[in-house]
Amino acid sequence: MQVVEVFSGSFIPNSYDKMANQLLRRIYGWLRRFIFHVLSVGPLPNHIAFIMDGNRRYARKKKLPETEGYRIGFFALMSILKYCHELGIKHITIFAFSIDNFRRRPEEVQFIMDLMHEKMQGLLEDGNFAKRYGVRVSFVGNLKLLSEKLRATALKAMEATAENTEIVLKVCMAYTAIDEIVHAVEESCHEKWEKGTQVTGAKLESPNPVIKLREIEKKMYISVAHNPDILIRTSGETRLSNFILWQTQSCLLYSPAALWPELGLRHLVWAVLNFQRHYHYLEKMKKQS
């Protein structure tokens, strides 16, 4: 049975012959490019961040094993990356695995780690998705918490995609915003100490603080040079869940009711339209921050 992707981003079975199926795909591709062309008339986001919420709920909804929700969610990510590439969005950040997620059932954590390892290995293959769409992958977070095998594979994947320039994909693994901020402060203090500067007793409110704000920002896992313009959290939740709190003070939050594997083209288009609608206000907020 053949499958056709529809505008909602979901998949439906059909009995069309091969020619009809190809025609539908061409029409869908033309429609998608037309929509992106219209969107490109207005300001486009440079950076979109995603909290990929709802994989397990999607699996339960479809009466599938919970682990399959993550696998299907990966294909949703590939579709979103493809759309972002076509739209010209240069930076994507995803919340792949929180430090808090280590508290989940050991078998679930192990499955996620194995799936990540499998997909990282895929980045090393010729003709892979990252090479085809020019995706440069960067894994950020407290990577010391990951297994040595996973860290080594992540490093190889980053090296393999280092020359790609179309999209920068930051994958937050073993990450929380609190851990990132603590890490940045500790690294800044350590750097000052190594340079022979006495940090103890310094007052940050003084005209010339010993540790400046920009020095802390440089030590963040995620560079603030490209703060997200839009943060999309699926499943209708409006919590940030300890994700890039430092970098999202002036970005648009969009929370569609769709679960992550259900996220499709129409959700991305709506997010961009909302961004364009609030663009001048968001720019004003950025200048004030």
Between the alpha carbon of residue 77 and those of residues 41, 50, 252, 270, the distances in Å are: 26, 10, 20, 17
| 245, burial (CB in 10 Å: exposed 0-12, middle 13-18, buried 19+) | middle
Given the residues 17, 53, 100, 126, the one annotated as active site = 53
Cα(209)–Cα(213) distance, integer angstroms: 9
Identify the H or E element spanning 135: strand 135-140
Cα(9)–Cα(270) distance, integer angstroms: 13
Half-sphere exposure of 29 (CA within 13 A, CB side): 7
> Is 53 noted as a catalytic residue in this protein?
yes
Name the residue with tokens 């091969």: 18
Query: What 3-state DSSP class applies to 203?
Result: coil
- If phi > 0 it is left, if psi is from -120 to 50 it is alpha, else beta; for residue 203 that is beta
Catalytic residues: 53
